[in-house]
Structure 1
Amino acid sequence: MRKISDELAETAMDSIERIAGKHPGCRRAHAKGSYYEAVFTPNGQAALYTTAAHLQQEPVKAVVRFSDSSPNPNMIDGLSPVKGMSVQFHLPDGSTTYLTSVTVPVFLTKTPEAFIEMIRLAADKPGPRDLVKMFLKYPESKAAFRIIKHTKPFISYSTSRYYPIHAFYFVNEKGEKQPVKYEWTPDDTFQLKAKQEAAMHAADYLEAELDEQLPIGFDLTITLGEEGDAVDDSTASWPPERKTISIGHLDIGAKIQQPNDHIVFDPTIVPEGIECPNDPVLHARHDLYAASFKRRSQDM
């Protein structure tokens, strides 16, 4: 695993706090969120590609957190275009694994160093020339910004698609590796009532709307990568003609009223049968999440 320095991780936390302020006890990203009980039921279709215990035949319990991407827990729902859905799977042997997803399919930068530089620039309140220089230096960021720019106002946690962004390797019993990308697809894709609520109550409506919709569900699919598809670049998309397979369903039920907010949804914690590629942004999330957890633990 490629690590980033503690100094760089702390620089990222400092820059986030300069942008959004300090909010004791909160995550330094996705500060505002709510937790739900869930059950994931695999359909066996992934067993050809992986030995991962939660992707075989038996249902496993899960915890789901829906969140706003802002580091400000008081952020108005309508002002932040990117939302998150993080899942903690409880495996049969007592261990856990995670899928951390957002509503955009690609990341801003190829490296954590570039991402942290962007955060530092944002904290310094850049002018137009600074932004132009940044885009010229990191042209791969244009894809993500273009998607975010054209994203429609967020309507509902329960009717949105979520992408874990990174590629992973599935490993089967023969030791064969298959690159995959995940996607969560909602059972319901449009709620007129939610759209009306969003227009009327832009400040703080998403959690209440979600609670009214329970129970809800999501289908988990994988796209099978082929030779030449980028597995270590979080800014790259795969060709749309790649084969996609449904591998299970997530049923989300009751809200957790007193959640364990110490959960760190670390996407690098994977079980036997799944491996992380050499994606520097993916591996940096382990160190950045640890730095965030350290700070909010000190606040508590």
Structure 2
Amino acid sequence: MTAETSLPVQVVDTMEHLDGRHAGYRRAHARGACFTATFTPTGDAAKYTTAAHLSGEPVSATVRFSNGSGNPAMPDNQPGGRGMAVKFQLPDGTATDLIGVNLPRFLVATPEQFLDLVRALAADKDAGKGDQAHLQAFLAQNPGSVPAFQALGAMGVPASFGTTGYQALHAFIWVNADGDRQAVRYRWAPDLGEQNLDADQIADQEEQFLIGEFVERLKGGPVTFTLHVTLADPSDPTDDATRVWPADRPEIVVGQLAITGEVDDQDHWAAQIFDPTNVTPGVELSDDPLPRLRNAAYSVSYDRRSHGR
């Protein structure tokens, strides 16, 4: 298989067909904005990982909030995916990324399923019937995806990027100084609490209000999130992001992120990649295949948008 027909290329091509090609924009989470932040670790992760940003002194970070669609014109005043990507600046000059979305589980378990899914969504768009026949056929063949779509259907419209919870979804492996290994999943909890708009409030909002609302909110002081980490049991699956772990698994609080203002150069940060495979010593990828697909698809998207395509 050539690079031109590789699965990541097929994924990006199909996403462009689904949401349109918008020159210079990401093929997913197209519209967003970046903000400066400081992450202060609690130190409670040090038992499990040597990762520099999860123990010791506070580190600076850049946070990108985004609408999930590949269409930058997609309105904010309707339910849908939202993203929170964080790039931590480490003491040695490197960086590591953590990517979250406002879903409790991912839509698919494998790269092949993801390609089948976007093809089904694109086929429904082409059919224009509104019956989602291709998506329904996909879900019948992939019942593990049904709970995520049920959660997607139950979404409200967030009052703010700062009142939304975000899950990293994929499992990662923490490694401590003794070489002990612990599977984990991350979630960001807004310290303002999760808040959605009611119907009257939605009607009062502009179509694209979330970035402006967050900028205005920051004028009143930092907006903070707490980073929670679930510690897996050895029996918990790490290779399937459609499956949540049991609710009784232990959870630790590993730090607080304080977002303080807009970045000085939005154009610079709009060009950057936030990559779930960009880990740091003390954190390893699990056997979940999707972060590697995301890395490859982001590279295809980056090459196209950086060339004005």
TM range (shorter): over 0.9
Q: Are residue 167 (structure 1) and residue 178 (structure 2) matched? A: no
Instruction: Assess if the C-alpha contact under 8 Å between 2:79 and 2:156 holds in 1.
Output: no
User: What is the SS of the residue equivalent to 1:77?
Assistant: coil
Q: Cα gap change, 1:158/1:143 in structure 2, threshold over 3 Å: closer, same or farther?
A: same
Q: In structure 2, how many angstroms separate the alpha carbons of the residues matched to 1:187 and 1:113?
A: 37
Letter in 1 for 2:119: R
CA deviation after TM superposition for structure 1 residue 9, in Å: 1.4
Between 29-38 and 279-288, the greater mean CA deviation after superposition: 279-288
Gaps of 5+ in 2: none
Letter in 1 for 2:26: R
Letter in 1 for 2:92: D
* C-alpha distance after superposition, 1:39-96 (max 9, x if no partner): 1010100000000000112111100000000001111112351100000000111111
CA deviation after TM superposition for structure 1 residue 22, in Å: 1.3
CA deviation after TM superposition for structure 1 residue 26, in Å: 0.2
Instruction: Assess if the C-alpha contact under 8 Å between 1:155 and 1:194 holds in 2.
Output: no
Q: TM-score, normalised by structure 2?
A: 0.91
Determine the structure 2 residue equivalent to 1:269.
278
CA deviation after TM superposition for structure 1 residue 113, in Å: 1.0
Q: In structure 2, how many angstroms separate the alpha carbons of the residues matched to 1:257 and 1:44?
A: 30
Between 153-162 and 54-63, the greater mean CA deviation after superposition: 153-162
Alignment map for 1:174-189 (pairs within 5 Å): 174-189=178-193
Letter in 2 for 1:46: A
Letter in 1 for 2:24: G
Q: Cα gap change, 1:192/1:131 in structure 2, threshold over 3 Å: closer, same or farther?
A: closer
CA deviation after TM superposition for structure 1 residue 293, in Å: 0.6
Between 45-54 and 279-288, the greater mean CA deviation after superposition: 279-288
Instruction: Assess if the C-alpha contact under 8 Å between 1:197 and 1:205 holds in 2.
Output: no
Q: Cα gap change, 1:59/1:194 in structure 2, threshold over 3 Å: closer, same or farther?
A: farther
Q: In structure 2, how many angstroms separate the alpha carbons of the residues matched to 1:193 and 1:144?
A: 22
CA deviation after TM superposition for structure 1 residue 177, in Å: 0.3
Determine the structure 2 residue equivalent to 1:79.
78
Q: TM-score, normalised by structure 1?
A: 0.94
User: What is the SS of the residue equivalent to 1:79?
Assistant: coil
Share of identical aligned residues, percent? 39
Q: Are residue 246 (structure 1) and residue 253 (structure 2) matched? A: yes
1:278 to 260, 265, 287: 287
Q: In structure 2, how many angstroms separate the alpha carbons of the residues matched to 1:97 and 1:197?
A: 37
* C-alpha distance after superposition, 1:4-31 (max 9, x if no partner): 9862111111111111111100000000
Instruction: Assess if the C-alpha contact under 8 Å between 1:110 and 1:235 holds in 2.
Output: yes
* C-alpha distance after superposition, 1:184-218 (max 9, x if no partner): 01110156999975431140111111112212000
User: What is the SS of the residue equivalent to 1:136?
Assistant: helix
Letter in 2 for 1:237: V
Q: Are residue 144 (structure 1) and residue 143 (structure 2) matched? A: no
CA deviation after TM superposition for structure 1 residue 144, in Å: 0.4
Q: In structure 1, how many angstroms separate the alpha carbons of the residues matched to 2:185 and 2:259?
A: 22
Q: Are residue 220 (structure 1) and residue 227 (structure 2) matched? A: yes
Instruction: Assess if the C-alpha contact under 8 Å between 1:47 and 1:56 holds in 2.
Output: yes
Gaps of 5+ in 1: none
Determine the structure 2 residue equivalent to 1:232.
239
User: What is the SS of the residue equivalent to 1:28?
Assistant: coil
Letter in 1 for 2:187: E
CA deviation after TM superposition for structure 1 residue 103, in Å: 0.3
Q: Cα gap change, 1:196/1:206 in structure 2, threshold over 3 Å: closer, same or farther?
A: farther
* C-alpha distance after superposition, 1:132-174 (max 9, x if no partner): 3211211111010010111122221101110000011110000
User: What is the SS of the residue equivalent to 2:40?
Assistant: strand
Determine the structure 1 residue equivalent to 2:50.
51
After superposition, the CA RMSD in angstroms is: 2.0
Q: Cα gap change, 1:26/1:51 in structure 2, threshold over 3 Å: closer, same or farther?
A: same
